[in-house]
Each structure stands twice: as structure tokens, then as C-alpha cells.
């Protein structure tokens, strides 16, 4: 674990926290211990140790991932012989890369089943020897508040497969879809500008054809044998059971997700949520709270919390800093619990993240609130992104992805 180097601003922040607690009217010894949470030298405040001990693992176990994909039947529920027959296994998978007949891109070498040139899994592995990359990412549905799971996704950059087709001209967009029970009504399609596929702006990882998750072959439920993973995108850009890529001169999005009023160009947002919070704390007993924050494209500088009596809510609302937990000692569901070597964003020699919090992933946070007198309270938590925007800004629209501030009612009984 990285040692936190105390800086002036670090101490200033602690001092600020202490002052806020005093202003809240209960500077108990336990509350002041807040600053030691997660630090190497000190044990966590006693009231927090239990809550911290039950935190979810950082990388999600396969059975804990949530599945929101559609299909009747769901492709991953098909029997094994059917999966073999339709190319949903590594042995039989085939990917076609073709020009859009309606708005054709000029390509010299389409990859098709008919001509026997479609890419198979062995061909993908050949590319992987040279080009494979892996990166950490939280998978989140634009329409659901909480993430579906966090993993290290491994694959071949999509551009390497596109270059195999020798594109020349009139290529402005890529759209792609997966196996959909041969029923056009069930097709779930997504799309990207060609620019995003060929280049990785702002140090983002590449868009990949993903075949491994957390060190294991991508399973059928997660979209195996091969799915697209778009690092900065919401889940609907990461098409599962990938079978076909279409190169088009169309200049605009044609995602299935556009139906339903979704903002199909929205990138992952930053937001905070609670994991554990006592709903009926005892009077004047410190209140341990833990949570997570999704770290979107705009990064994360702070997680803050507020607690206000429902009978008298001071204005403006007072926000105090929670402690962002450092990288975990145990990463959760990974082979040998270790970050695979050459994972983007992690130091190859030590396996430590190069920056923290890491964009496109998540962090855990904790705070020990001072005990409160009997009454009804509202607890809220929010993020401040790296540019200083407080949640739900800078993009507060629901159909651009969840960013509403979470609030929880607490009842302190006399
Ligand atoms: N082929 C296909 N891919 C798909 C979907 C789908 O229904 N079919 N759903 C998308 C949506 S809306 C989301 S949020 C993610 C969810 O990924 P997960 O099921 O691996 O958690 O998959 C995306 N990829
Ligand atoms: Mo989704």
C-alpha cells in the first residue's frame, strides 16, 4: 500500500474536518479519529473497523456481477450444443467485419463467413500476442444507479481488427452488434465514431474486443467468448456476444439505446453512494458510514457528506470530507489476488496504481459521524470531481447517466 505523504493541504484538510465536527456540536474523541481511517500507521477508529471489515471486494466475483442484458432466450442461457452451433464458444466464434451496404465505407478486404475470411478466436489470439491490453473499469448501465461490477478487462484494440480490412475512404463510424437469436427485433446495436476507435484521446485505454475478465476467459454471462468494451462508455456501448462489425459512412449514432431517450454520447459520470449506514443509531453514539464512488471521466478529488436535522436544515448545507480509502491490500477477485502484469494504469514492478483515485473505476470511502441527539436526520453524500464540480454537476441529466445525490433518512431514538 502506498504511504500517504502528509502535505500542508493534507493537514489543512484534517483541520477543516475537525472544525466542521466541532461546529456540528459533537467533537467526540471517536469522531476526531476519523482522520486515521485507512492510514498505514494508525488503526481505524474503533467504530469504523467493523464497517470497513465488511466492505465488498474491489474487483467483483463472477457470481456478483449483475446482468441486465436482453434476449429471449438470453444468449448465455442457451444449451452448450446450441452455443457451439451459433458461435458462442471460443471453438466456433466468428467475427464478420463488413462495409455498410447503405452507406458503404471503402474497404479492400472485408472479413466474412461466406468467403471464409471471418476472424476466429485463434486469429484474435494471434493479434493478442502482439497487441493485447488490459485495464480496470467499472461496468455501469446508464439507466441504473449502481454499477454492475468492476473488473480488469483484457482484449485486442478494435482498431487492429479494422486495419485487417484495409479501409481506404468514406469511413466515419463503426457500428456493431452480437448474437441475437437470429431475430432482427432482438438486435442490440451500438456505435462509435471511427476517430475514437483509431485513437485514444486524453490517455484513455483503447476500445477493445475483450476476451478475458479478471484473468479468466470472459464467461458467457458477461458476453463471452468476445464482447466490445468501451473504457469511458456506459454499458450499452459494450456489446456482448459480438458477431458483426459494420464500417459505415453514416455520420451519426444509430445505437439501439437511442430509443428510450438515452444520451448515447455520454461518458461515465462521477458520483458517490453509501454501502453501510445505521438507519437507527443510538443517541450520541458515533455513526460509522461507508460507501463507494464511481470515478468517471472527470476524475474525483473529494467525497463529502452532510447530515441535517429534518426539523431545522441549516442553509447553506454544510459538507464535510469523508476519507477516500487508499488502494486495497487485497484486490478481490483476481488470480492470486494480484494485478496482472502490464495492466494500464498500474506500475509493472510493484502492481500499485499509478494514480488514485483511478478514472473509470471506483473507490471506497468512510466517515465516522459524531453522535447526535434524538431526532430525524437526512444524510447525504456527494463527489467533487477533479475540476471542482460538485455532484450532480457538471452533467445533471438523468438520461446522461446517474448523478443524483443520494440521501438516507436516519432516526435517532431517545
Ligand atoms: N448483445 C448485447 N450486448 C449488451 C446488451 C444486450 O442486451 N445485448 N446490453 C447492454 C447494456 S444496456 C449493458 S448496461 C451492458 C451490461 O453488461 P453486463 O451484462 O456484462 O453487466 O451490456 C450491454 N451489452
Ligand atoms: Mo444498460
pLDDT tens digits along 180-227: 999 999 999 999 999 999 999 999 999 999 999 999 999 999 999 999
pLDDT band at 44 (very low <50, low <70, confident <90, very high): low
Distance 351 CA to ligand 1 centre (A): 30
Distance 153 CA to ligand 1 centre (A): 15
pLDDT band at 335 (very low <50, low <70, confident <90, very high): confident
Distance 144 CA to ligand 2 centre (A): 7
Which of 235, 263, 399 is the pocket-test mutation for ligand 1 (most atoms within 8 Å of CB)?
235
pLDDT greater at residue 30 or residue 303: 303
Going by C-beta distance under 8 Å and a sequence separation of 6 or more, which residues neighbour residue 55?
A: 275, 290, 364
pLDDT digits (tens, 9 = 90+) for 71-122: 999 999 999 999 999 999 999 999 999 999 999 999 999 999 999 999 999 9
Residue range 330-346: mean pLDDT, rounded: 91
Q: What is the pLDDT of residue 33?
A: 37
CA angle 28, 34, 39 (to 5 degrees): 150
Distance 127 CA to ligand 2 centre (A): 29
Q: Is pLDDT above 50 for 36?
A: no
Residue range 320-332: mean pLDDT, rounded: 94
Q: Is pLDDT above 60 for 11?
A: no
Protein residue whose Cα sits closest to atom 16 of ligand 1: 235
pLDDT band at 27 (very low <50, low <70, confident <90, very high): very low
Distance 137 CA to ligand 2 centre (A): 15
Q: Is pLDDT above 70 for 2?
A: no
* Nearest ligand (C-alpha, residue 67): 1
Cα–Cα dist 181/88, whole Å: 11
Distance 158 CA to ligand 1 centre (A): 18
Which of 61, 66, 68, 255 is the pocket-test mutation for ligand 1 (most atoms within 8 Å of CB)?
68
Residue range 39-50: mean pLDDT, rounded: 64
Q: Is pLDDT above 80 for 28?
A: no
Going by C-beta distance under 8 Å and a sequence separation of 6 or more, which residues neighbour residue 333?
A: 57, 59, 60, 61, 62, 151, 214
Q: What is the pLDDT of residue 229?
A: 98
pLDDT band at 45 (very low <50, low <70, confident <90, very high): low
Pocket around ligand 1 at a 6 A CB cut-off: 65-70, 139, 141, 148, 178, 188, 222-223, 235-236, 238-241
Cα–Cα nearest to 134, from 231, 200, 239: 231
Protein residue whose Cα sits closest to atom 9 of ligand 1: 69
Could you give the domains of the chain? 13-56+269-412 (2.60.40.650), 64-260 (3.90.420.10)
Residue range 46-66: mean pLDDT, rounded: 90
Q: What is the pTM of this model?
A: 0.90
Of ligand 1's listed atoms, the one at least distance from the Cα of 179 is 1
pLDDT band at 171 (very low <50, low <70, confident <90, very high): very high
C-alpha cell at 132: 493485447
Protein residue whose Cα sits closest to atom 1 of ligand 1: 240
* Nearest ligand (C-alpha, residue 140): 1
Which of 64, 219, 240 is the pocket-test mutation for ligand 1 (most atoms within 8 Å of CB)?
240
Distance 236 CA to ligand 2 centre (A): 5
Distance 68 CA to ligand 1 centre (A): 6
Q: Is pLDDT above 80 for 22?
A: no
Q: Is pLDDT above 80 for 10?
A: no
Q: Is pLDDT above 60 for 251?
A: yes
Distance 413 CA to ligand 1 centre (A): 44
C-alpha cell at 243: 458477431
Cα–Cα dist 204/195, whole Å: 13
* Nearest ligand (C-alpha, residue 239): 1
Which of 223, 226, 257 is the pocket-test mutation for ligand 1 (most atoms within 8 Å of CB)?
223
CB 158, CB 208: distance < 8 Å: yes
Share the mean pLDDT of the chain.
Answer: 90
Q: What is the pLDDT of residue 43?
A: 57
pLDDT band at 336 (very low <50, low <70, confident <90, very high): confident
* Nearest ligand (C-alpha, residue 143): 2
* Nearest ligand (C-alpha, residue 151): 1
pLDDT band at 47 (very low <50, low <70, confident <90, very high): confident
Cα–Cα dist 281/410, whole Å: 7
CA distance to 66, 223, 275, per residue, from 410 (Å) = 28, 40, 15
Amino acid at each position: 500500500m502506498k504511504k500517504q505523504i502528509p502535505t500542508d493541504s493534507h493537514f489543512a484538510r484534517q483541520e477543516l474536518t475537525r472544525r466542521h465536527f466541532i461546529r456540528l456540536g459533537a467533537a467526540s474523541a471517536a469522531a476526531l479519529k476519523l482522520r486515521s481511517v485507512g492510514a498505514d500507521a494508525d488503526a481505524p477508529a474503533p467504530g469504523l473497523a467493523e464497517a470497513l471489515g465488511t466492505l465488498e471486494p474491489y474487483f467483483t466475483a463472477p457470481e456478483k456481477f449483475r446482468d441486465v442484458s436482453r434476449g429471449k432466450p438470453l444468449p448465455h442461457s442457451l444449451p452448450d450444443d446450441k452455443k457451439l452451433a451459433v458461435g458462442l464458444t471460443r471453438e466456433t466464434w466468428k467475427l464478420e467485419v463488413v462495409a455498410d451496404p447503405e452507406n458503404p465505407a471503402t474497404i479492400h478486404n472485408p472479413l466474412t463467413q461466406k468467403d471464409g475470411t471471418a476472424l476466429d478466436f485463434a486469429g484474435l489470439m494471434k493479434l493478442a500476442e502482439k497487441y493485447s491490453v488490459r485495464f480496470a473499469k467499472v461496468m455501469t448501465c446508464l439507466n441504473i444507479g449502481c454499477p454492475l461490477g468492476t473488473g480488469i478487462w483484457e482484449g485486442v484494440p478494435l482498431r487492429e481488427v479494422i486495419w485487417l480490412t484495409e479501409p481506404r475512404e468514406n469511413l466515419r463510424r463503426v457500428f456493431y452488434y452480437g448474437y441475437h437469436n437470429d431475430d432482427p427485433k432482438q438486435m442490440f446495436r451500438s456505435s462509435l465514431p471511427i476517430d475514437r476507435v483509431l485513437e485514444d484521446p486524453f490517455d484513455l485505454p483503447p476500445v477493445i474486443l475483450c476476451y478475458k475478465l479478471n484473468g479468466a476467459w470472459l464467461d458467457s454471462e458477461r458476453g463471452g467468448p468476445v464482447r466490445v468494451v468501451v473504457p469511458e462508455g456506459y454499458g450499452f456501448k459494450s456489446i456482448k456476444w459480438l458477431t458483426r462489425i459494420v464500417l459505415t459512412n453514416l455520420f451519426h449514432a444509430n445505437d439501439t439505446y437511442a430509443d428510450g431517450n438515452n444520451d448515447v454520447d455520454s461518458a461515465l459520470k462521477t458520483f458517490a453512494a453509501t454501502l453501510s449506514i445505521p438507519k437507527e443509531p443510538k443517541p450520541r453514539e458515533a455513526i460509522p458510514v461507508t460507501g463507494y464512488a464511481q470515478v468517471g471521466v472527470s476524475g474525483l478529488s473529494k467525497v463529502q457528506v452532510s447530515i441535517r436535522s429534518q426539523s431545522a436544515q441549516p442553509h447553506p448545507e454544510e459538507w464535510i470530507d469523508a476519507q477516500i480509502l487508499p488502494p486495497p491490500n487485497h484486490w478481490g477477485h483476481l488470480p492470486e489476488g494480484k494485478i496482472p502484469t502490464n495492466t494500464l494504469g498500474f506500475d509493472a514492478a510493484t502492481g500499485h496504481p499509478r494514480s488514485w483515485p483511478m478514472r473509470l473505476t471506483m473507490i471506497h470511502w468512510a466517515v465516522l459521524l459524531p453522535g447526535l441527539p434524538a431526532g430525524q436526520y437526512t444524510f447525504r453524500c456527494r463527489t467533487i470531481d477533479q475540476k471542482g464540480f460538485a455532484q450532480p454537476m457538471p452533467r445533471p441529466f438523468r438520461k446522461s447517466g446517474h448523478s443524483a445525490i443520494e440521501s438516507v433518512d436516519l432516526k435517532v431514538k431517545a
